[in-house]
Amino acid sequence: MITNLSIKEYLEIIRNIPTLDVRSPLEYEHAHIPGAINLSLLNNEERKIIGTTYKNSGNQSAVIQGYQLVGPKFSQYIESALKISPDKIINVYCWRGGLRSNIMAFILHTAGFKVNLLIGGYKAFRNWTSDSLSEERKIKIIGGKTGSGKTLIIEQLRKMEEQVINLESLANHRGSAFGSMGQSAQVSNEQFENLLVMEWKDLNSSKTLWLENESRTIGSNVIPLPIFNQMQKAITFDVQIPLEERVNYIVKEYGCFNYTELANNTSKLQKRLGNLRLNQALDFLSNGLIREWSILMLEYYDKTYIYGNSKRELGTVIPMVFDKLNVEEMTIKILQWEKQND
């Protein structure tokens, strides 16, 4: 049986039933519905061939050639689908819910599969993503200068069953010139949005959503403007701890990296640091003076943070002063303030 489902119906079942993305590997690698498995009807080269045939000879010729290419592989598709879903229930989509997904659905249907076909395909998912990420949420921000433990507080809030989205985790980047260090490669911006919306859609809009203070770009990924605008207007808890505590944190986070990695990333800041401070920073690194390097870097990032905070609306920045970086204690006090003043 083949069932055509709207995007709303599709999303209600997507986490319980395996999903096949039957687009080409290149399309899938660029971006896809999170959790979907690529089972391409046409590989990259075959898709290019069909496109050329369609352009030169029209739709009918392209369809005939398509069947010539995929026909010998019917058994492979069925065998692969059985490994993915032994109980023979599966979701399928292509770019627009057209020929590729319908052919795959037909093949699997004839093999006894119950197939759920996404109406409008991946394009429908992307349209829904854009609409969903424009919805309002009750956002509050964990802010603070570099090394204040903002990400640790976000994860502590998660442990305490608060609503949290870790934007830096989704982006595989810690949001600075050094943010890519120790991280896997970033996904495309489109895929970043796809990952974000799958968390965004499950939020309770009446409850607080905690986000870390970010600039709009996190490495190569960009926070969608509707969300970033909400973040800029939200109450921000400005976590303040002594400089020595922050230096200790930075040394712990980045002291494990070698000179070349740190030097290359430090050099990215040449225009902002100026030659004098850049050379000083590189000298510190070459001599193994990681604490001195950390202090110099914090001086730069502190100015950036103070400037960013100055652009927030009056009364939205709440100072939260602590003697040391004690994540559990800091998180509890922030929650206490939030509950008393909500």
171 with 192: CB under 8 angstroms?
Answer: yes
Predicted local confidence at residue 71, as pLDDT: 61
Q: What is the DSSP letter of 186?
A: P
Catalytic residues: 94
At residue 185, the 3 state secondary structure works out as: coil
Q: Is the pLDDT of residue 319 over 70?
A: yes
pLDDT digits (tens, 9 = 90+) for 18-52: 999 999 999 999 999 999 999 998 777 777 777 77
**CA 188, 167, 307: angle at the middle one, nearest 5?**
105
Amino acid at position 222, single letter: V
Q: Is the pLDDT of residue 162 over 70?
A: yes
Q: Is the pLDDT of residue 56 over 80?
A: no
pTM: 0.90
In whole angstroms, what is the distance from residue 278 CA to residue 268 CA?
10
Q: 62: pLDDT confidence band, cut at 50, 70 and 90? A: low
At residue 218, the 3 state secondary structure works out as: strand
Dihedral sign of CA atoms 150, 154, 157, 159 in order: negative
**Per-residue pLDDT averaged across 123-131, rounded?**
97
In whole angstroms, what is the distance from residue 62 CA to residue 56 CA?
9
153 with 238: CB under 8 angstroms?
Answer: no
**Per-residue pLDDT averaged across 77-96, rounded?**
95
Residues 6 or more apart from 330 whose CB is under 8 A from it? 149, 153, 156, 239, 320, 322
In whole angstroms, what is the distance from residue 81 CA to residue 75 CA?
10
Map out the domains of the chain with their CATH numbers: 2-130 (3.40.250.10), 136-341 (3.40.50.300)
